[in-house]
Every structure is written in structure tokens, then in C-alpha cells.
């Protein structure tokens, strides 16, 4: 019978990865307990082992690129993954009573961290590097993304826009300053809201701490940028119906979300435990039925490859600023955050996940919608 190590080496070989090999993406193992943990816990065990310092790779995004292109995750599920699947099937993990958990556990961890990691407007979602002209820096990529959204919804001076999951207020500040718009932003993070109010001070922008299900009002446009991943499959139709009720009849809703190439009810087990509790990335098969007879599809734009650049830039910023964060967060957090950012970069590089912007209308735009890029 083959040992855990021998089985792991055979699986990794399919992706061209050699244990303790010379390639930059080869897995360098320092504690051989990793093999049994991976077969017991799947990707959860892989991530925990990295946090514990049991293994590494010189080029971590490329390691995940190689592993995901070869779909090695199919070879190791693990109990953690199976348990998460069962819970997701029978429990609404994104219910109203659970809505604020991700705010408390992720977005509230410290504005100091996000200030040094993100661009100057603190946009925590994929930048738009592939526009014309192409962006040359993270600041330019995020500015281009914000402007792209405003142009896609046809934002005009004096109009009102609701930002569902507004983060630190970056989009609403941009929309107010550059387009003369008025806005309301909602977030489940108290720390985000406090800084968003400070960032938008003096502008016609209101920031609320509330779940989307409780939002009231009527708006010319609605945008949701990087928040749909926290809604959950059991709530997708509720979400779309709620947005429809908040949008004026001739308004446009822009949904910006990470997308999955397969339908699932759960997130990666490691990401769920350590980074985004209760998160789920939607698939086309889930989005379609949820918005049926609720919204008209006007445009679907995919630019997931841009997230690789965004994440690697976030990592570079975080790593550069680490000496100022080290005392507060500690070395284990450093390895956790590195694994989070660079494993996700590898996922987008491998096209294992996508990034989508959907333009939706309530009644269909008479004469058609002209796609904006």
C-alpha cells in the first residue's frame, strides 16, 4: 500500500509539480505531516499546513496555477469540504441573522491593513487593467473600473445611486466628485462605515450599516461591487427581487461579482474558515434562474484575468507595509494573508474562477443597450 507521501507525489506530478524540486512553483516541504493532513482535510488542510509553515513555494501563484489547471482538487476532498457541503445544503448560511458575521470577521479586522494594501480610493474588488488605454498602476486600474461602472449605468449629475456593499465609500465618492451624483451606501461592517463616512465627508453621500434586505428607498441606479459573493444561493432570488424594488423603472442595475465555472453551494473550506465566512461564488446556472422574470440582461462582461494583477499588487503593497503591521497582526496572520492573496491570484490566472459585470434593467431598454468597455 502506498504511503500518503507517495500518493501526494503522484497527484502533484500530474500538474508538473515536484516535491522539493528546482522549479519556482515546486512544493517545498519542511514537515511531512502535511501529506496525511491533506488527505484528511483536503484544501483546508493544505492551507492550514501553509499557515503552520509545513510547506511553501517560491512562486505561490504559479503553484496554484499549475495545480488548478490540472484540477488536482478533485483528488483530495477531505472531511472539511464534505461537512461544509452538507451544512450549505440544509442551512441558510447567509440569512439575515448571519449577515454581519463576515463584516465582523473580515472587513472589521483593521482599516490600517486595508489602507496600505489597497489603492488610494480603497477599492477592494478587481481593477480594470484591460481597458483602452490599459492601466499601468493599481490606482489607474481602480479609477478605470469606477469610471467604467459609471459609464455603463449612464450616470448623470443629480441622479441617485445605491451602492450595495459600499466598502469604504470609494465608488460613491468617485461618482459624486466626477459625475455629480448623490448616493447611499450600505455595508455590514462598522469599521468600513466609519471610514466611509470620513472619506465622503462634505459630499451628498449617506452611509448605512444594514443588511440589503432591510434597505428602503428609490434610486435612479443600483450598483453592487464585490458583495454578491456574500449573498448565498438560497438568497439569490430574494436579492434580485429586493434590488428591483429599490430601482426606478428606467434605472440600471450593475452587478460586479466573482463567478464560478461550476455550480456549488459552498466556498473553498479554507477560505470559508479563515477569510470569508459563509461566502459562495455564484455560477451562471445559479444567477440565471434567480433573475428570471425579475431583470432583463443587457450586457455581460468578463474580465477575470485582471484579478490576477490586482491580487498580486495587493500582495506587493501588503508585503511592503508589513513592518508597520507586524506587531499588531503577527507572523501567522502574515502567512495566512499571503496564502489568501496569492492562492486567489493563481486561481484567476488558471481561469478557475471568473470576474463578471452584468448590466440589468427592469423592463428592457427600448432600442437596446450599447455595451460599454
The string of pLDDT tens digits covering residues 208-241 is 999 999 999 999 999 999 999 999 999 999 999 9
Q: At what angle do helices 60-69 and 305-329 cross, to 10 degrees?
A: 130
Give the pLDDT of residue 76. 67
List phi, psi (to 5°) of 224: -140, 110
Check if 344 is active-site: yes
What is the pLDDT confidence band of residue 316, given thresholds at 50, 70 and 90? very high
Give the pLDDT of residue 100. 87
pLDDT tops 50 at residue 243: yes
What is the pLDDT confidence band of residue 81, given thresholds at 50, 70 and 90? low
Question: ∠120-160-295 over CA atoms, to 5°?
Answer: 100
What is the pLDDT confidence band of residue 181, given thresholds at 50, 70 and 90? very high
Domains of the chain: 4-77 (no CATH), 100-361 (3.40.50.150)
| 272 upstream amide cis, omega within 30 of 0 | no
What is the pLDDT confidence band of residue 83, given thresholds at 50, 70 and 90? very low
Which of the residues 126, 150, 200, 344 is marked catalytic?
A: 344
For the segment 16-27, the average pLDDT, to the nearest whole number, is 98
What is the pLDDT confidence band of residue 92, given thresholds at 50, 70 and 90? low
Query: In this predicted model, what pLDDT tens digit does every residue of 320-363 receive, in sequence order?
Result: 999 999 999 999 999 999 999 999 999 999 999 999 999 999 99
- Long-range own/partner contacts, residues 240-244 (CB < 8 A, 24 or more apart): 240/290, 240/291, 240/294, 240/295, 241/294, 242/212, 242/213, 242/215, 243/164, 243/212, 244/294, 244/295, 244/362
The answer to whether 237 and 207 have CB atoms below 8 angstroms apart is no
Cα distance between residue 231 and residue 281, in whole Å: 9
**CA atoms in the 13 A half-sphere facing the CB of 268:** 23
Amino acid at each position: 500500500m502506498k504511503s500518503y507521501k507517495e500518493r501526494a507525489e503522484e497527484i502533484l506530478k500530474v500538474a508538473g509539480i515536484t516535491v522539493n524540486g528546482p522549479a519556482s512553483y515546486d512544493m517545498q516541504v519542511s514537515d511531512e505531516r502535511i501529506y496525511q493532513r491533506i488527505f484528511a482535510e483536503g484544501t483546508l488542510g493544505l492551507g492550514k499546513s501553509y499557515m503552520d509553515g509545513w510547506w511553501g513555494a517560491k512562486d505561490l501563484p504559479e503553484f496554484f496555477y499549475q495545480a488548478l489547471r490540472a484540477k488536482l482538487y478533485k483528488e483530495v476532498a477531505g472531511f472539511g469540504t464534505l461537512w461544509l457541503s452538507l451544512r450549505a445544503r440544509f442551512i441558510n448560511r447567509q440569512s439575515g441573522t448571519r449577515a454581519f458575521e463576515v463584516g465582523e470577521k473580515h472587513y472589521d479586522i483593521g482599516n490600517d491593513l486595508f489602507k496600505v494594501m489597497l489603492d488610494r480610493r480603497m477599492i477592494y474588488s478587481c481593477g480594470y487593467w484591460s481597458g483602452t488605454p490599459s492601466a499601468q498602476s493599481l490606482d489607474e486600474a481602480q479609477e478605470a473600473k469606477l469610471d467604467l461602472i459609471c459609464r455603463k449605468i449612464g450616470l448623470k449629475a443629480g441622479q441617485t445611486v445605491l451602492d450595495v456593499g459600499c466598502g469604504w465609500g470609494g465608488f460613491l465618492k468617485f461618482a459624486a466628485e466626477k459625475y455629480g451624483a448623490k448616493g447611499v451606501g450600505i455595508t455590514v461592517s462598522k469599521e468600513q462605515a466609519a471610514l466611509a463616512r470620513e472619506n465622503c465627508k462634505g459630499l451628498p453621500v449617506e452611509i448605512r450599516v444594514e443588511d440589503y434586505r432591510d434597505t428602503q428607498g428609490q434610486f435612479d441606479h443600483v450598483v453592487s461591487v464585490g458583495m454578491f459573493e456574500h449573498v448565498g444561493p438560497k438568497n439569490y432570488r430574494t436579492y434580485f427581487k429586493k434590488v428591483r424594488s429599490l430601482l426606478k423603472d428606467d434605472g440600471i442595475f450593475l452587478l460586479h461579482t466573482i463567478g464560478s465555472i461550476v455550480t456549488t453551494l459552498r466556498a473553498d473550506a479554507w477560505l470559508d474558515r479563515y477569510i470569508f465566512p459563509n461566502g459562495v461564488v455564484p455560477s451562471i446556472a445559479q444567477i440565471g434562474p434567480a433573475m428570471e422574470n425579475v431583470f432583463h440582461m443587457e450586457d455581460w462582461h468578463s474580465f477575470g484575468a485582471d484579478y490576477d494583477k490586482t491580487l498580486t499588487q495587493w500582495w506587493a503593497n501588503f508585503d511592503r507595509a508589513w513592518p508597520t503591521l507586524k506587531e499588531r497582526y503577527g507572523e501567522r496572520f502574515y502567512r495566512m494573508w499571503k496564502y489568501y492573496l496569492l492562492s486567489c491570484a493563481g486561481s484567476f490566472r488558471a481561469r478557475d474562477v471568473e470576474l463578471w459585470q452584468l448590466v440589468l434593467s427592469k423592463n428592457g431598454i427600448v432600442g437596446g443597450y450599447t455595451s460599454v468597455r
